[in-house]
Amino acid sequence: MNAKRIFVTRQNAINYLLGSFFVVFLAAGCAVGPRYDRPAALGTNAMPAAFAEAVSTNAGEWKTAEPSAHLPRGAWWELFGDAELNRLETLATQSNQELAAALAHFEQARALVNVARADFYPQISTTPIATRQRTSENQLLGKSATFNTFTVPLDASWELDLWGRVRRGVEGARARLAAAADDVESSRLAIQAEVAIDFFTLRALEAQQALLEQTIRTYERSLQLTRNRYKGGISTEYDVSLAETQLRSTEAQLPAVELQRANLRHALATLCGQPASNFDVGAAASPLTNAPAVPLSVPSELLERRPDIAAAERLMAAANADVGVAVAAFYPRVTLNGLAGFQSIDAGTLFNWSSRVWSIGPAIQLPLFTGGRNRAQLAAARATYDGTVANYRQTVLHAFQEVEDQLAAQRLLGREFEAESAALKSARRTLEISESRYKGGVITYLEVAIAQGVSLGHEQTVVQLSARRLTAAVSLIKALGAGWSTEVGEAAPEKAATTRPNN
């Protein structure tokens, strides 16, 4: 009879578990909360057909954006053909500490996905207990008892994800993981662009320093010539004083340029993860090169490669999932609880089969009254989602602004450089004429000094414009999310990035 009773009890437990599993599978497709549909990138504004600053007519058509910021950026800096820049970019990519911090944040986000996913599985724990206790004399017929209790339990609990609370949590964690991966790419691209900009600025300062040193040598010869002419009674003391003033004022510009060079070297050292004291940049093998021919009619879909846009979009998806979690809080939480183990008042019989204990049953948590907490949490989740939508649209607008700014810079700096180069050519010719006339005694040194100052100013402006055109090219590539290969305008190969998880 006892065996039959045990069999019936176990069969009832099995039937109970099978019924519970049926309920789980029946509700498996139910996940409360809003479905995520990506909002329009520009709200009620229409997507432009092409970049306004793109001169070419074949600027490409816009299509539905699919975030692809995880795709490799490509070694875009190789477009500039500078071996030292290639070395610095590789060093920064490997050793920059801000990038290391972004990678650590990505690993944290990946671990949090596993934390959220753990709620899909039963949670099992054990808490062995050994107690000695005394009962009250007023509890058992006026008699007290002192005895030991030994318990070795195995506790298990499993929340039935009837309303998708766990699934929404995992969905949000995965979206944040994708955003963290995009943040890594954003940090990498920002660091690489900053290295290139600082490098070209440093090269411009080196060229400016070389120009000043050459000018100083020229002014020294002019001063010596003027002194000789003064001794011969051809020039005046005013000419000598003017030539010396011009020399000394040019010499005074050198320390400022050298200070800027030192600061940029130190900044590059930090970007490359190196101590500034032991860091140096190799000498320029050639003068400043022209900016690469980045086509103005860039495909508009390259904006999809911007990692900041992709990260903002994934944060929207995560915030939408959080709304689902907040909605699920209004529904009952059903948990299957189970216990199995051994219990005895004698340690010697603790693990005997007769000392076994077990229990199983559901626990239902009903949110009958929470003081408005659930409603407030839902309102907060919805407000957070609205904020991420606004941030996403602002990021897209900012991306348009950056691309248009850099396209305009490409066009207008090119025109300015051509005009300034022509002015420099004219200034050099004017200087040659004035020096020839001065040597012939036709004019005073004042006119030579004026011509030398004008020529030096144009020389410096041309150097600065060369650097600005190079940095504008870097900024344009960054604004487009990079993706350039050594073939101008050719996108980098689209293969899965190693830093993206396969979830």
Residue 157 domain-assigned (yes or no): no
Residue 310 domain-assigned (yes or no): yes
Among residues 109, 208, 120, the alpha carbon closest in space to that of 165 is found at: 120
- Orientation of helix 445-479 relative to helix 165-231, angle to 10°: 170
Q: What are phi and psi of 149, to 5 degrees?
A: -135, 125
pLDDT at 22: 46
CATH number of 248's domain: 1.20.1600.10
Residue 326 domain-assigned (yes or no): yes
pLDDT at 483: 60
CB atoms closer than 10 angstroms to residue 177:
24
pLDDT at 296: 47
To 5 degrees, how large is the angle CA 245–CA 225–CA 236?
65
pLDDT at 50: 66
Give the helix/strand (H/E) hosting 147.
Answer: strand 146-160
Residue 52 domain-assigned (yes or no): yes
Residue 191 domain-assigned (yes or no): yes
For the record, the structure tokens of 142 come out as 């006026």
- For the entire predicted model, the pTM comes to 0.79
Range of the domain at 310: 39-122+165-331+376-479
Q: State how far the Cα of 351 lies from the Cα of 342, in Å rounded to an integer.
A: 6
Residue 350 domain-assigned (yes or no): no
Burial 306-327 (b: 16+ CB within 10 A, else e): bbbbbbbbbbbbbbbbbbbbbb
Among residues 99, 70, 97, the alpha carbon closest in space to that of 177 is found at: 70
DSSP state of 346: S
Q: State how far the Cα of 349 lies from the Cα of 347, in Å rounded to an integer.
A: 6
Q: How many domains does the chain have?
A: 1
Mean pLDDT, the chain cut into blocks of 10 residues (503 residues total): 44 49 50 81 67 50 45 73 90 92 93 90 88 76 76 87 87 92 91 94 92 92 89 87 92 93 93 89 73 54 75 93 92 88 84 86 87 92 94 90 87 89 93 88 86 91 90 88 53 39 36
Among residues 389, 375, 377, 390, the alpha carbon closest in space to that of 320 is found at: 389
For the record, the structure tokens of 482 come out as 């990079």
Residue 491 domain-assigned (yes or no): no
User: Which residues are CB-neighbours of 233 under 8 A, at least 6 positions away?
Assistant: none
* Straight-line distance from the first to the last Cα atom of the chain, in angstroms, rounded to the nearest whole number: 54
CB atoms closer than 10 angstroms to residue 10:
11
pLDDT at 57: 31
